[in-house]
Amino acid sequence: MATWNSRGLRGSGLEEYINQTNEVYRDNQLALVQKIPTPITPINIDKTNRHITLAYFDQKSTVDYIGLVQGVPVCFDAKECAGDTFPLANIHEHQVAFMTDFERQDGISFLLLSFTRREEFYYMKYREMMRFWNRMQEGGRKSFRREELDADCFFSRRGNLLVPYLDQLALDLQKR
């Protein structure tokens, strides 16, 4: 079982950027998207600072974010990648199942990827994620390479929007 001070906080920098972007979107009445907290059981607590120093994840979470964008239900997960190859092991089966169920209810599911070394973001449509996921399930590659991705779905920071994903969401909606 994963613990909070090991792998559990990878991506927390990306999530902080997304949280700040979501505040701007909310303030401008463009979207209401919230971070879904991961349920944990504290094991060690630093009593002087009242901080949890070790915890176990109680259960498998769903995705990182759920909300509404101009009346459209969305859910997405945030993932970071240091190199140009993304291991599909970073996407969990229960997350894929949740996103599939969400899509079946006419919601929009996607991943926000951060290629940290390149300082760029990628909006991965649900169907694109499933193409790579199904390829892996059928015995193919257990990862995808940056060069396999749609060049139109890369984006960068813009002004006070640290992860401006709404433009990519609009393109996704247009192509459905």
Residue 142, φ and ψ in degrees, nearest 5: -95, 20
Ligand-binding site membership of 62 (annotated): yes
Write down the residue that tokens 């140009």 correspond to. Answer: 84
Question: H-helix or E-strand containing 34?
Answer: strand 31-35
| Single-letter residue type at 160 | N
Ligand-binding site membership of 64 (annotated): yes
Ligand-binding site membership of 150 (annotated): no
The angle at the Cα of 76, spanning 138 to 31, to the nearest 5 degrees, equals 155
Q: How many CB atoms neighbour CB 29 within 10 A? A: 8
Ligand-binding site membership of 84 (annotated): no
**Residue 66 is encoded by which pair of tokens?**
């759920």
Cα–Cα distance measured from residue 47 to residue 121, given in angstroms and rounded to the nearest whole number: 38
Q: Which residues are annotated as a binding site?
A: 62, 64, 77, 95
- Can you say which residues are annotated as belonging to the binding site for Mg(2+)? 62, 64, 77, 95
